[in-house]
């Protein structure tokens, strides 16, 4: 059986990876580059 320290480290690692999941997915799918309309206004 794993020691309590080992268990906690594993949980914390997973928690850190999961943090900001929605934000990371949004950046992955849509990127951070602004669209032409956002940069120069609607023409």
pTM: 0.51
Coarse DSSP helix, strand, coil percentages of the chain, rounded to the nearest 5 percent: 70, 0, 30
- pLDDT tens profile 11-32: 999 999 999 999 999 999 988 8
- Torsions phi, psi of 11, nearest 5? -65, -45
pLDDT class of 4 with cuts at 50, 70, 90: very high
What average pLDDT does range 2-6 have in this prediction? 96
| 35 or 19, greater pLDDT | 19
Location of structure tokens 């023409």 = 43
pLDDT above 90 for 37:
no
* Predicted local distance difference test score (pLDDT) of residue 41: 84
Which residue's entry shows tokens 């951070």?
32
């Amino acid at each position: 059986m794993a020691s309590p320290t080992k268990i906690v480290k594993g949980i914390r690692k997973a928690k850190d990876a999961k943090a900001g999941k929605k934000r990371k997915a949004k950046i992955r799918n849509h990127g951070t580059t602004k669209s032409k309309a956002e940069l120069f206004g609607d023409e």
